[in-house]
Amino acid sequence: MLHPQSSAQQKKLDVLLLGMVAIETVLVSLALVPAQLWTRILPQSASAALDGPFPPAIAPVITAVIYLTPTAVGFLCRSWQKALLYATVPAWIGLGLFVTAATFKVGAFYLVSADHITANVSVLELFAALGVIGWLGRFFVKVPWTM
């Protein structure tokens, strides 16, 4: 039987996980916006095509967060299934929004062209691998609240 404190702790951990997934989803969605659109939205920014809406000083931090968050999410999950799901949800949502937007301009078969399938699957594989690496890290770093 679960101790009441462990139940409250699990709820806090679940909220933390969902918050991390939400932040990651926003960052991935922003990262998938084409550079041409950022230059139109932010014409006064010289680095909009490269850094999007983020100032050049924090752009490397945003990149690090995009790569480290799925690993941290995987580390905080108790099961590998949740680690895979939570780590890849931002990529699924971001890619879904991107592909939907691209079909308005390119056409309905954008998703099934060979080069786009490869790129989309590669993004999903990356996020899945990062989530699994985080989950496997639980076995090397013994933290009481993750067990």
| The amino acid at 80 | W
Within 10 angstroms of residue 19's Cβ, the number of other Cβ atoms is 10
pLDDT of residue 144: 61
| Beta carbons of 75 and 130 less than 8 angstroms apart | no
pLDDT of residue 96: 87
Residue with token string 């997934």: 21
pTM, two decimals, is: 0.81
Half-sphere exposure for 68 (CA within 13 Å, toward CB): 6
Number of domains in the chain: 1
Question: Could you state, in chain order, the average pLDDT of each consecutive group of 10 residues for the chain (147 residues)?
Answer: 66 92 93 82 80 84 93 93 95 88 77 76 92 92 62
Domain membership of residue 40 as a residue range: 4-146
Start-end of H helices in the chain:
4-31, 35-41, 48-51, 59-76, 80-105, 114-137
